[in-house]
Amino acid sequence: MSNSGGAAAAVKVVVTGPFAAGKTTFISTLSEVPLFSTEKPVTDSSRSVKSMTTVSMDFGKITFDFEEGDVVLYLFGTPGQERFDFMWDVLARGMLGFVVLVDVTREKTFTEAKKIVKYFKELSDVPYVIGANRATGNEKAVSLLKKKLGVGPDVPVVPCEVVSRQSAKEVLLALLYRVSALLDQDSAVGAFSP
């Protein structure tokens, strides 16, 4: 990625995935500004999983300091519950890439994750990566997730623990390399700059 002159490039990234995958935690772990979040108490049977859920969006920001210049990522987290999916289209507008987080310890959510991947791919043909959350000690579940999602070898599946900043950063870096490679390839680096 060329970002000469030290000017900051801005990239909009959507963080999506099934209910309780760790999306809000991911953005909160990474963001260098206080997390903007819209969490409300869970009112249906999912309450047994956790008490609060995102109802419209999360927002955070992280800067990567590369030799060529800063790249600022604006992170938009979606709600995980399907009844709030009207927000998915809104949040996806103008995104340059997306992350699909999946909690690998909850196999029941893998089918939902596959649907979400399909939905976002149809919204926009941009690079994406899968963040396999809670992967430590769950290598088998990560393999199963890969199989269930049926994504091609060009889609990175990055094992992570989103409570760790370093680990969460690796997921974003995997995405950023794909976004920048495509932009360089298309000679469309200009689109990267705000």
Residues that bind ligand GTP (CB under 6 A): 17, 19-25, 50, 53-54, 79-80, 133-134, 161-163
Q: Does 3 bind Mg ion (CB under 5 A)?
A: no
Rounded least distance, CB 25 to Mg ion, Å: 8
Give 56 or 124: the residue with its C-beta nearer to Mg ion. 56
Closest CB 14 distance from ligand GTP, rounded Å: 13
Could you say whether residue 78 binds Mg ion (CB under 5 A)?
no
Q: Which is nearer to ligand GTP, 9 or 171 (CB)?
A: 171
Site string for Mg ion, 10-49 (x = CB under 5 A): -------------xx-------------------------
Phi, psi angles (nearest 5°) of residue 172: -65, -40
| CB of residue 96 to ligand GTP, shortest distance in Å | 21
Work out what residue 50 binds among ligand GTP, Mg ion, none; the CB cut-off runs from 5 to 8 Å by kind.
ligand GTP
CB of 179 to Mg ion, least distance (A): 23
Between residues 113 and 162, which has the closer beta carbon with respect to ligand GTP?
162
Q: 3-class SS at 79?
A: coil
Spatial contact of 51 and 42, defined as CB atoms under 8 Å apart: yes
Nearer to ligand GTP, 61 or 70 (CB): 61
**Planar angle of CA 90, 75, 77, nearest 5 degrees:** 55
Q: How many CA atoms lie within 13 A of 65 on its CB side?
A: 0
**Nearest approach, Cβ of residue 193 and ligand GTP (Å):** 30
DSSP 134-172: T-TT-HHHHHHHHHHHT--TTS-EEEE-TTSHHHHHHHH
Asked if 39 and 24 count as a contact pair (C-beta separation under 8 A), the reply is yes
Taking the C-alpha atoms of residue 36 and residue 47, their distance in angstroms, rounded to an integer, is 22
- Cα–Cα distance for residue pair 73/174, rounded to 1 Å: 13
Q: Which does 60 bind (CB under 5 to 8 A by kind): Mg ion, ligand GTP, none?
A: none
> What are the C-alpha distances in Å from 142 to residues 98, 100, 130, 151?
19, 14, 10, 13
Residues that bind Mg ion (CB under 5 A): 23-24, 54
